[in-house]
Amino acid sequence: MMNGLAALIVIGLVAFVGSLSTFSSAATVTVCSNNCTFDDFDVAFDSLVAGDTITVKQGYTTLAARTVTLNNITIWGYNATFGSNSDVWLTIPTNVSLLFKGSSLIFGTSIKVDGGKLIQEGLLDFQMFDLPYQAEDKTGLVLDNGATLLQQGQLLFRLSAYLNSTVLTGLYVGGSTSWTQLGSLVVRADGYGALTGVELEVEAVWTSSGEVSVTATQSNVTGIVVGGNTWSPSGTVSVTAVDGAKGLTVSGSTWNQGGTTTVNATNGATGVYFGGFGSTWSQSANLVVTASDGQATGILIDATTPWTQSGRVYVTANQNATGILLRVSETWQQSGVATILAQGLSAIGLRCANSSVLTWTSTESINSTQTQSGTAISGCSTPAPSASPSASPQILLSNMTTIPSMPMLCFNLSAPAVLILPKDSKGNVQQLAGVMVSLGSVGRMDSNDTLIEEATVTDGMWGEEANNSLGASQSYIYACTLSFNSTTSAGAITTKRNGGSANSTVLQLQWYLFDAATNVSLGGDVSFGTSPAYTKLTVRLANWPWPAYTGRASDDGRAEVRITIDPPFTGSTPKSGGGGSGSSYLKEFGLSGQTTDYTAGSVSTSVRLVDAVEIDGQLIPLAGLDSNTRPPVEYWLDGATSQLVLSFGRFNSTVVYDPDFGVFLGAKGGDGGGTSSDNTGLIVGVAVAVPLAILVVVAVIGGAAVLTYYRRRQVANQHSGVNFDQEDAL
């Protein structure tokens, strides 16, 4: 929000630019009709060298027919007199080309490409602002009358206004002009005046393959306006609107969305306004919409023409916000997966206004979830699919919290999988950054780790633990029986729900979420620190079907659990410090090769594995064991299958092991590493997220006895939302 501090910043900027010649060996030249270095820009340009600064005192120049190259030039144009041409200090007419190379900055003045050609190879930075008590009405770059802009480097527009009467536009693209955007476009507009980052008029052609990033703040601010033409971005588009602003307006136009688009709206803002007669929207890439707080709207649809969606749609609405709002009757032709999440009081994922009718045809799944008094879909008829869409899975969500670093866990009750959804530093769930963790397999192995037989998960049950002994704020547990077709000394080990053997093999996976930094003690001196960013997992196996005991470990074989991580990883690298655990018993590994659809930054996954295991109630640290024998637990990360592999030696009754997982959001182009895109060091976590995936393995499992079976720590016997009957007993 603009205030007195902003004015001081502006004044400081003025002083900074005015002193460039003092702190730089480059020259500062002036242009005006009297007592200046040059009378005319056309002449001045021939004398400039890289690093020079032009101070525009007075003047207006139309370049002669030729090509002019400017390299690393700074142009300062405030308080200049331009006569009848208002704020335009330089015009590029037909048959004239102006080439910007290196990094060039333009402060408070304008270039008009009037039928000519502007070529940009490096950074071109337009900074437009008003001075205290001096309103401005300016446009940084104007394309008109068949002009051409070839943008190969980054084009940056920074607009700020202290006064309500100020009108600033970064780039105006008039009719019959052509803009080829190969480099990135960045728009930052913030202030009380009427600010527009980019405005496209009727019949303007914008060919967009570079990145587009827009941030608009305050109620009279619009990031980009597309009016009466066709926009087909094939690069990624990121739109952020805050405090009543509009990030992107598409009116009377065709929007062919070929690049992943991310929309964030906060505090009364509208991320995207799509309306106007004849507007059409075709979406073939992913669309991610997040609306948060203060009546914000992610996307407002005011056009009656069809929305054709073949890419994926992810919509998240937080408290008092709407993800997508339809104010007119609309047709939605959906052939890509749609996921709609509403979380918090008065949150609405998709809303049809009272007078609007949504004609929604679907050939793909629609996953809608609502928590804490939120409404996923309001006032809209459910789709009448033209083909049978895949059924939406039943989902259990972990309890939503306001702690930004604590992830949301989505348990898929129809498959052995869990989706871990990290949050950004503002607490917004980032669906495209999710990591899916699932049970790969459980198998009996020989001493050479060759598979003898793979277990079948016959039934499963999961529930929420009301209490736990580790100080966690939330705990979820999954338990299932494992079926084998072989017969061993443990007896016939094919288990059945009705009349099953007391020796049934049991798998349990328990997750813990923490709302504060906590020291987790496994017993003895084996302990480690954890935080809300991590989800702790406990893996338990009981009554494993070992062969007859001979006293030779080579005859026993191994029990192996494989956990699959998606997006797939291809390798892993040890990290120092045990993930900040403060424990020598914990080893951390960073996964490499993962690729997600998250475009706001990087996503990386870390795995923390403890060098200790509990065998038959006794905690055994791995340090100091006989190096000539296989340890009771071995672990490795298999890049060929994208799996965490846990291998256990012989135990009589139970084995318990505690891995950790973490998902990190990092800066764009970074490697995660715990550095967030807003420099808060955000770790968004799945510490142990993997096992809960396992936790979600099947729909309903074998009975209350399973959930209380062989618990190494005292836990409550209450399970929220789970019903048991006599037939569920093992």
Nearest C-alpha neighbor of 315 from the set 357, 374, 236: 374
Q: What region, left, alpha or beta, does residue 656 occupy, with left being phi > 0 and alpha being psi -120 to 50 degrees?
A: beta
Residue 570 CB contacts under 8 Å (≥ 6 apart), including other chains: 592, 593, 639, 642
pLDDT band at 672 (very low <50, low <70, confident <90, very high): very low
pLDDT band at 550 (very low <50, low <70, confident <90, very high): confident
What does the pLDDT average to over 47-57?
Answer: 76
Handedness of CA 393, 399, 400, 406 (dihedral sign): negative
Query: What is the distance between the alpha carbons of residues 315 and 326, in angstroms, rounded to a whole number?
Result: 14
pLDDT over 50 at 714, yes or no: no
- Span 514-544, pLDDT tens digits: 888 888 888 878 888 888 888 788 889 999 9
- Span 171-207, pLDDT tens digits: 999 988 999 999 999 999 999 889 999 999 988 899 9
- Span 114-161, pLDDT tens digits: 999 999 999 999 998 887 667 788 899 999 999 999 999 999 999 998
- Span 593-645, pLDDT tens digits: 998 878 778 888 888 899 999 999 999 999 889 888 899 999 999 999 999 99
CA angle 130, 134, 138 (to 5 degrees): 50
Would you state the pLDDT for residue 88?
A: 67
pLDDT over 90 at 700, yes or no: no
| Three-state secondary structure readout of 61-72 | EECCCCEEEEEC
State pTM to two decimals: 0.63
